[in-house]
Chains A and B, each alone.
Chain A
Amino acid sequence: MRWFSFLLFFSFLSVPVGLTAEEIDFNRDIRPILSENCFHCHGPDAEHREADLRLDEHAGALNAIEAGDRHKSELFSRVSTTDEDLKMPPVDSNRTLSAKQIKLLGEWIDQGAEWGQHWSWTPIVSPEIPNVTGTAELPIHNQIDAFIRRKLVNENLQPSPIATKSTLIRRVTLDLTGLPPTPNEVAAFLADDSEGAYEKLVDRLLASPSYGERMAWDWLDAARYADTNGYQGDGERTMWPWRDWVVDSFNNNMPYDEFTISQLAGDLLPDATFEQKLATGFCRNHMINGEGGRIAEENRVDYVMDMAETTGTLWLGLTFNCCRCHDHKFDALLQKDYYSLFAFFNQTPVTGAGRSPQTKPILAAPTPEQTQQISNVESQLQIAREAVNARVQLLAKKQAEWELSKLKTLKATTTWTSLVATSLTAEHQQLEQLDDLSIFATGPNPANDTYSVTAKVQASLITGLRLDALQHESHFKGGLARSNSGNFVLTQIEIFLLHDDREVPIEIASADATFEQGNLKITNAFDDDSKSGWAVYDGKPIERNHAAVFRFAEPVNLKAGSELRVVLHHDSPHVRHNLGRFRLSATSVPKPELKEDKNEALQLALLTPSEKRSDEQKKTIREAHQSGDQEYAKISKTVKDTDSQLNSARGKVAKVMVMEDLKEPRQSFMLNRGLYTAPGDEVSAAVPESLPPLAEEASRNRLGLAEWLVSNENPLTARVVVNRFWQQIFGIGIVKTTNDFGVQGELPVHMDLLNWLAADFRNSGWDVKHLIKQMVMSHTYRQSSKVTTKLVERDPANRLLARAPRYRLPSWMIRDQALAASGLLTNKLGGPSVNVYQPPGIWEEATFGKKKYVQDHGDGLYRRSLYVFWRRIIGPTIFFDNATRQTCTVKAFRTNTPLHALRTFNDVTYVEAARVLAEQALQLDVNSDQDRLNFIFQRVLAHNARDAEAEILLGGIKRSKTQFQADEERAKELLTLGESKRDESLNVTDHASWTALCLAIFNIDETLTKE
């Protein structure tokens, strides 16, 4: 019984959709049956193909088909048999063919089993324009109407008459700018009786900056644009300059081929401009996964897949993601094709590590104000630096004079005095004292050596000795000795007081060293073990001087003529570890310490004749001179401050993640089951084999790919793009499956129209405004959206377009409309995203308090929805039925739930807009409530309230006034909602009642709907 009614129902329905079998068309009638029921096991996927039978290709299908005779065709006998063991599709496959489908297959075989390429793979050829004539009432404005009208005539339907002018201006203004028309604009249009009035309106809207903002929304959904990374952490990114680039591009009517190439490969264009590089932020809009425990390469592969699949959806309209793991089940796409496309994007330096929302490569994208500010600070810095330079010059002139006086002061205050040798001997080498009083060893470097230094001391008492081991360019890697590491081993130090030919050993009590190498401690240098010693190697070439201080057990008194003799032993088994250059100094302070004594370094530098000073010494002297100069200190602080100002200004500049290719190409592989850990055969960047090839001369990189996408030979891009714009204007694509132009996608309802639009769009130089204008200029667009009973029966989804579409506005547009109607809307293009009203705790609850929502105030609250901050893990709550911005989404969402009603009825955005709109209605210098109501209607709906509507709504005002008068506190409460100021002179109950009315008007079906 059920089956019977089903068939009845089908035949009843088949009339309007035109599926009756006049002549069987393979693409329209047969391929869908084969695709849905057979390709899964007998399709492109070689790995899972059954019985080696392939039904997606003509040659393969002929193995089971005898053209012209169903009874000799295995295919027909298998689908029509009643034997459950033989029946196709198999009983357990959950697929069954209807009697009608079997009949169609039989007829098709009998008629010769004609084959054809899947429609979207065929070259785009402009079809002939149907020769239909319009009437004054139902005109043919352009080719769109011609195609639509022919179809309607075939279906025995008529288009609808033109919509009223007020409906039309609201419709087209919302469609092209996302905002309602102002009452003045409406009045001007109504008053303009000229023939070109509507076109003038359209041209004005296309030239409005709001046009770009409206067009950008759908692209942002598709391009998965958001202000955070998504996933755990969900760090904030600054991709909004890319968003502004999109708005500008639409406003400047950038040709779509350029729009494509810039975003996919702008960086690879010769002498790429800032904008071209910025455009490639498109590719980097994907989510970034910063979860702990994730492997970088796993992330990286995810990102590349996202780029490849997004490209596949947006330009080719193909479900490429199906080929991550295997050949496509339905379309002529191989797993290899997937990874060949992947290979184009597999060349960025991104490693997948970390969670930075500004992972390199990045592009700094300053706003004009920032550019100005940075340039100001830069010139300030320049001036300050010049002042410093001038001062430096001046100081340089005074240097010689300063050096003399400084040396004098130093000598008077210094604590360590370098020993000036009276005798220098070594067992094997030659020792010589240099100008800076360091002692330098030359001659062949022996395995071991012992040095003896005798020096006169001026002081009357000494408490300690300091040994500096000094670098020299002749040492190993500029180290401290000529050993094979630049290291030395001092095995023993002995110190003697020489007086009257008597040598008295001085006892060392303790010592400190700048560094000790493991067990080679400084104490080894004065213990009983003559082989143990002190050394300073830390595993890498020695790049600094070292020093040790030896404190004497008792202060040593010196008399006139007393001398010190210091003996340094190098008896380590580590051969040739002899000090190469060193200095000895003595002190009289009670407790000698090992401190970097700047004054000592300075003094030594000053002692060195200027032509022999090292760079280091020159620097020491120069800096000492400068730091003592007050003027210099002042102006160099200005440099420092300005510099940090500059850094902070630069830090505030948005950094956009963009594209760049590695110099050395990264290899790409097929990934078994899509797993990054399971690479298979290597692949190179290439376009799908079943589509026209890349041009010979094209580069095998993203630029080559982008150019191929918009080449004349590409059968998909123009169709796919035109169809998406059609969806944007008409609500449903000509191909409803905007994301699937493959064999499982919908056949275009208006095939010829789609092909014509695609060809025309391409031939126009990919002129988007031209395309959009064509659509909105058509009668198909301009006709009334009224639904007749006949129409709803024949074509409930309005695919034939015998009336204009009528559907709920996107939620973002509903918000913009309310803001604009109330006059609250801020007219500012671009810039960082804003946090508008949102119930408290939304971010906090989703992130366990890690992300705090800080709401904007003032103008920020009233920016267009396009600029609302999009946190990817929890999108703005005011919107509904929108793409989540997590992955590429091109389909329109349109559902109808109570939760939507709660938003537009209760969110403070709408309450405030209602209050502000009510305020203006009450401030009007008019006499009747009817006039006030009309003012509100004009603002929101572009026409006056009809009598019946006015009666209902003014009745509501009366009721509300009574209610608010009874409880004035409520009225006051309502009027405090929203941060904008209220006109306190207005009567509270009046204002509250009209606010309630405006809120109701924001929620009537007509307001929520594009009519």
Chain B
Amino acid sequence: MDPLYQNRQHVTRREFFGRTATGIGTVALASLLERDGFASSESLGGLPSLPHIAPKAKRIIYLFQNGAPTHVDLFDYKPKLQELHGKPLPDGYAEGKRFSTMTGKADGKLMLAPVEPFKQHGESGAWVSDFLPYTAQVADKLCFVKSMHTDAVNHAPAIQFLLSGAELPGRPTLGAWLTYGLGTESDSLPSFVVMTSISKGTSCGQIFYDFYWGSGFLPSKYQGVKFRGSGDPVLYISNPNGISREMRRGWLDDIAKVNQLKLQEFGDPEISTRISQYEMAFKMQSSVPELTDLSGETQQTLKMYGEGVHEPGTFAHNCLLARRLVERGTRCVQLMHAGWDQHNSLTTELYNQCRDTDQSSAALVQDLDRLGLLDETLVIWGGEFGRTPFIQGDITNRVRWGRDHHPYAFTIWMAGGGIKPGMTYGASDDLGINAVEKKVHVHDLQATWLHQMGINHEKLTYKFQGRQFRLTDVHGDVVTDILS
């Protein structure tokens, strides 16, 4: 295609007519200047000023554990909880702190020991509970951040906070920012893909609101594309019944020819964009089925991901698709698995949750490593907050033991993408109630993700309603200690 046309087109689609010199300059420059040494030559779209720094990671897979996994039962080992089991919360831990309306005040709540025993694993000696045997096996590849804390105490706001930096809907999410800033590496698959799942037999699942992968005030082409768990993975990806791929190809060529005539007559750059978008749609129609066709995977690989791997809509299946997506150039894969909200089911449903996620999460890390992709793929595992180290429910009724929402301390882990493996960073207090040592706020975590992707989080901004917005709002410090 005529490169000048491409340039104009690029300019048109952006906010060309800026009011200030910088407004016009940076954007228009995008198309005129050659990309410098940092940029991957295959990238399409993206901002010319990016990356700001040499990237460690090219892609992100976010294994979002929706509902908030219990840190004190899975990762954050607190022997003192065992000691104080059934005794009231000691003074000095939670005075004046806000909890959900289900807990109200923490005063007098009884402490609850971890449900399963903890052991240290690998050379790093990371503590992982018996709930997660597979994760335990890959502990040396993971970096556990145990001093996470957040602002929100209800699910939707807290999830939105991790994904977009703000509690209310309306801001772009991580994947949207990455696509906006860095462009895509694939011309036949979306740059930002979302897949959701829920454990079988889970009684309580939060709705997956579409703003969890929204583009907020960024143009809607940056929003995540939701792959579905049933039917076509991408809506409308299949030709209508009766239309073969060959026929579609023929008509697409005809349409392109008609559109070329129009382009010659009208000169509207949007026409050439339309031609290329229809072409990409056609490519997607083959690349998506190819993506979801697992017949090329070895038995060994399939087995590694666990039982549900053949079943669309399961976490295991989604994990394998996530690997296949990043292999094919997708920038950000966001998996969301619901059902971690154990208000009264620590001794029952928590086992299902772990069974359905543990093996495939670990398998994904191993598989990426095996393929040499882990170095440049940042894998993130975690939920929106932690759970109260004290009980929700009746201490004498073990079957209904539960824990309430807890924003003051929780654990996430990351792997690959230039994060130090085999590391445990930060700590909560001796009861797992407050992050105390090397605290990491959500905005710090976001700054770190962007940093690994070669982005200075203070510089990736977008002007809306007169203000420059960014993923980290006006906060965030890169957690440099965990970078390899």
- Please encode chain B, from 180 to 221, with 1 for each CB lying within 8 Å of some chain A CB and 0 for all others: 000000000010000010100000011111110000000111
What 1/0 flags go to A702-721 for Cβ under 8 Å of B? 00000000000000000000
Contacts A740-B465, A902-B237, A976-B241 given; indicate if A796 touches B231 (C-beta within 8 A). no
| A797 pairs with B198, CB closer than 8 A | no
Q: Contact at A963–B244, with CB atoms within 8 Å?
A: yes
CB of A846 within 8 A of CB of B255, answer: no
Across the interface, do B251 and A902 meet the contact criterion of CB distance under 8 Å? no
Residues of A contacting B268 with CB < 8 Å?
A: 785, 787, 806
Inter-chain CA distance A956–B247, complex, in Å, is 9
CB distance from B366 to the nearest CB of A (A): 29
In A718-736, the 8 Å CB interface with B consists of 736
Q: Does B274 contact A (CB under 8 A)?
A: yes
Which of B14-22, B71-79, B107-115, B441-449 lies at the interface with chain A?
A: B14-22
The count of residues in chain B whose C-beta lies closer than 8 Å to any C-beta of chain A is 91
> Which segment, of B278-286, B295-303, B377-385, B424-432, faces chain A?
B278-286
Interchain CB contact (< 8 A) of A808 among B16, B234, B270: B270
Q: Is the CB of A895 within 8 A of B219?
A: yes
In the bound complex, how far is the Cα of B8 from the Cα of A96, in angstroms? 27
A897 CB contacts on chain B under 8 angstroms: 221, 277
* A589 contacts B by Cβ under 8 Å: no
B243 CB–A CB distance under 8 Å: yes
Tell me, yes or no, whether B3 is within 8 Å of chain A by CB.
Answer: no
Q: Is the CB of A806 within 8 A of B266?
A: yes
Pairwise interchain contact B230-A293, C-beta atoms closer than 8 A:
no
A747 nearest CB neighbor, chain B only: B19
Contact check, B281 vs A901: say whether CB atoms are below 8 A apart: yes
On whether A744 and B258 interact (CB within 8 A), knowing A33-B20, A94-B458, A807-B270, the answer reads no
Report if A17 contacts B (CB, 8 A): yes
Q: Are A974 and B234 within 8 A (Cβ)?
A: no
Q: Please name the residue on chain B nearest to A792 by beta carbon.
A: B8
The residue that A902 contacts in the complex, of B208, B231, B234, with Cβ under 8 A, is B234
B238-251 CB contact bits vs A (8 Å, 1 = yes)? 11111110111011
| A959→B246 CA distance, assembly (Å) | 11
Q: Are A949 and B261 interface neighbours, CB within 8 A? A: yes
The reply on B53 being an interface residue by CB < 8 A is no
Binds A, one of B23-31, B89-97, B324-332, B353-361: B23-31
Once the chains are docked, how many angstroms separate the CA of A31 from the CA of B245? 57
Q: State in angstroms the CA–CA spacing of A554 and B387 once bound together.
A: 69
Interface: B100 (CB within 8 A):
yes
Check B236 against A906 for contact (C-beta < 8 Å).
yes
Q: What 1/0 flags go to A83-102 for Cβ under 8 Å of B?
A: 00000000000101010110
A880 to chain B, nearest CB (A): 8
Q: Which of A63-71, A762-770, A965-973 is the interface stretch? A: A965-973
Residue of B nearest to A36 (CB): B20
B33, CB-defined interface residue at 8 Å: yes
Contact between B220 and A841, CB atoms less than 8 A apart:
no
Q: In the complex the two chains form, is A953's CB within 8 Å of B20's CB?
A: no
Contact present for B17 and A98 (CB under 8 Å): no
| CB-contacts of A882-939 with B (<8 A) | 884, 886-887, 893, 895-903, 905-908, 911
> A94 is contacted by which of B235, B246, B459 (Cβ under 8 Å)?
B459
**Least CB distance, A895 to chain B, in whole angstroms:** 4
With an 8 A cutoff between CB atoms, is B169 at the interface? yes
The answer to whether the Cβ of A384 comes within 8 Å of any Cβ in the partner chain is: no
State A788–B255 Cα separation when bound (angstroms): 23
B residues 143-159 in Cβ contact with A at 8 Å: 154, 156
Contact A902 B21 (CB under 8 A): no
Q: Which residues of A contact B240 (CB under 8 A)?
A: 906, 908, 911, 974, 977, 999
A58 CB to closest chain B CB (Å) equals 21
A996-1011 residues with Cβ-Cβ distance < 8 A to B are 996-997, 999-1000, 1003-1006, 1008-1009, 1011
Judging by beta carbons under 8 Å apart, are B33 and A1003 in contact? no
Q: Is the CB of B270 within 8 A of A806?
A: yes
Is A144 close to B, CB under 8 A?
no
Assess whether A446 is interfacial by the CB under 8 Å rule. Answer: no
**A905 proximity list for chain B (CB < 8 A):** 236, 239, 248, 278, 281
Most B-side CB within 10 Å, residue of A101, A745, A902, A949? A902
Does any Cβ of A come within 8 Å of B83's Cβ? no
Residue of A nearest to B272 (CB): A1005
- Which residue of the partner chain A has the closest CB to B188? A898
Contact of B8 among A94, A796, A971 (CB under 8 A): A796
Contacts of A156 in B (CB 8 A): none
Chain B residues whose C-beta falls within 8 Å of the C-beta of A847 in the assembled complex? 207
- Verify if B440 is at the interface (C-beta below 8 Å from A): no
Q: Which of B24, B235, B255, B269 contacts A10 (CB 8 A)?
A: B24
CB-CB under 8 A from B21, the residues of chain A are 10, 14, 98, 100-101
A contact residues around B17 at 8 Å (CB): 17, 736, 749, 796-797, 799
In the bound complex, residues from chain A placing their C-beta under 8 Å from that of B154 are: 291, 293-294
Residue contact A1004 to B259, C-beta cutoff 8 Å: yes
Q: Which residues of chain B are near A948, meaning CB under 8 Å?
A: 261
B248 nearest in chain A by CB position: A905
With A6-B29, A956-B251 already in contact, the answer to whether A887 and B170 are too (CB < 8 A) is yes
Compute how far the CA of A946 lies from the CA of B266 in the bound complex, rounded to whole angstroms.
Answer: 15
Cβ–Cβ < 8 Å partners of A1005 in chain B: 258-259, 262, 270-271, 274-275
A743 close to B (CB within 8 Å): yes
Q: Report the Cα distance A60→B237, complex, angstroms.
A: 60
User: Contacts A5-B33, A886-B169, A887-B170 known; A896 to B254 CB distance under 8 Å?
Assistant: no
A836 on the B face (CB < 8 A): no
Residues of B within 8 A of A6 (CB): 25-26, 29
Could you tell me if A874 and B210 are in contact, using CB atoms closer than 8 angstroms? yes
Whether B293 is near chain A, meaning CB under 8 Å from some CB there, is: no
Instruction: Evaluate whether A797 and B101 lie within 8 angstroms (CB atoms) in the complex, with A886-B169, A992-B242 already known.
Output: no
Q: Say if the beta carbon of B225 comes within 8 Å of chain A.
A: yes
From A36, A792, A970, contact of B242 by CB (8 A): A970
* Interchain CA distance A793-B259 in the complex, whole Å: 22
Assess whether B278 is in contact with A293, with CB atoms less than 8 Å apart. Answer: no
Task: Tell me whether B476 is interfacial, beta carbon within 8 Å.
Answer: no
Can you list, as one digit per residue, whether each of A221-259 has a CB less than 8 Å from chain B (1) or not (0)? 000000000011010000000000000000000000000
In the bound complex, how far is the Cα of B458 from the Cα of A897, in angstroms?
A: 29
Taking the complex as formed, is B102 at the interface, i.e. its CB lies under 8 A from any CB of chain A? yes
State whether the Cβ of B273 lies closer than 8 Å to any Cβ in chain A: yes
**Closest residue of A by beta carbon distance from B338:** A848
What residues of chain B lie closer than 8 Å to A973, measured between beta carbons?
241-242
Q: In angstroms, how far is the closest chain B Cβ from the Cβ of A888?
A: 11
Residue of A whose beta carbon sits closest to that of B189: A898
Q: Does B229 contact A (CB under 8 A)?
A: yes
**Residue in A13, A33, A1006 whose CB lies within 8 Å of B262:** A1006
Contact bitstring A738-776, B, C-beta under 8 A = 1, else 0: 011011111101000000000000000000000000000
Q: Does A783 sit at the interface, judged by CB under 8 A?
A: no
Closest residue of chain B to A974 (Cβ to Cβ) is B242
How many angstroms between the C-alpha atoms of A114 and B258 in the bound complex?
A: 56
> What are 28 A-B pairs with beta-carbon distances under 8 A?
A9-B28, A10-B21, A94-B468, A98-B21, A231-B156, A291-B156, A740-B466, A785-B266, A786-B267, A796-B12, A797-B17, A799-B17, A806-B270, A845-B228, A874-B210, A884-B211, A886-B211, A893-B220, A896-B274, A901-B280, A905-B248, A906-B238, A906-B239, A906-B240, A970-B242, A974-B242, A976-B241, A1003-B255
Closest 3 CB pairs of A and B: A744-B466, A974-B242, A973-B242
Q: List 6 additional contacts besides A792-B8, A845-B229, A949-B261; criterion CB under 8 Å.
A: A788-B267, A796-B17, A848-B205, A955-B254, A967-B244, A1005-B259
Hey, which bits of chain A sit against chain B, CB under 8 A?
A: 2, 5-6, 9-10, 13-14, 17, 32-33, 35-36, 94, 96, 98, 100-101, 231-232, 234, 291, 293-295, 319, 321-322, 329-331, 736-737, 739-740, 742-747, 749, 785-789, 792-793, 796-797, 799, 806-808, 839-842, 845-848, 873-874, 877, 880-881, 884, 886-887, 893, 895-903, 905-908, 911, 946, 948-949, 952-953, 955-956, 959-960, 963, 967, 970-977, 992, 996-997, 999-1000, 1003-1006, 1008-1009, 1011
